[in-house]
Amino acid sequence: MALNIGDTAPSFSLYDTDKNQVQLADFQGKDLVVLFFPLAFTSVCTTELCSMRDNIGDYNALNAEVVAISIDTPFTLGKFKAEQNLNFPLLSDFNKEVSKAYGAQYDEFVLGLKGVAKRSAFVVDAEGKIKYAEVLDDATKLPNFDAVKAALS
């Protein structure tokens, strides 16, 4: 099911790389950028998340928090986060429920992998409503980060 601007963002409770539960409700009262990415350690995902790392100040200046979600385990995400020196939470959707709720999931990805998260960007406002939604079918493309920033300003 595709999410549209104005829809209530699906709630979530996922584990981060430190094995802490992170919930959408933790960000109530703040704008939140929610990125879904297919798999840690892949080239385009690394490019995307390192770009976010390098530009985190832009999002901080807009009073926005950032989280990135994939179906990788918290342990894999922890290694990836450490190697790439990422400065925002990576969350594990290992059970593939949150990416499905956001309409950001492949039926079948490369190598016959099922339920992998589609590269996506959402902006959830302080009241929990979707302000921006972009779900990419082509995993080689990056989200439109200029449009994400525009939705935050």
Domain ranges of the chain: 13-152
What is the set of active-site residues?
Answer: 45
Residue 125 carries which side chain, given as an amino acid letter? D
Note the helical H segments in the chain. 43-54, 56-61, 74-84, 97-101, 145-152
**E strands, the chain, in order:** 13-16, 21-23, 31-36, 64-70, 90-92, 120-124, 130-135
Euclidean distance between CA atoms 152 and 58, whole angstroms = 10
- Judged by phi (left if over 0) then psi (alpha if -120 to 50, else beta), residue 71 lies in alpha
Walk along the chain (153 residues) and give the pLDDT tens digit of each residue: 689 999 999 999 999 999 999 999 999 999 999 999 999 999 899 999 999 999 999 999 999 999 999 999 999 999 999 999 999 999 999 999 999 999 999 877 777 778 889 999 999 999 999 999 999 999 899 999 999 999 998
Q: CA-based Rg of the chain, rounded to a whole angstrom?
A: 14
Q: Are 88 and 99 in contact (CB under 8 A)?
A: no
Question: Domain 13-152 in CATH: superfamily?
Answer: Glutaredoxin (3.40.30.10)
Angle between helices 43-54 and 74-84 (to 10 degrees): 60
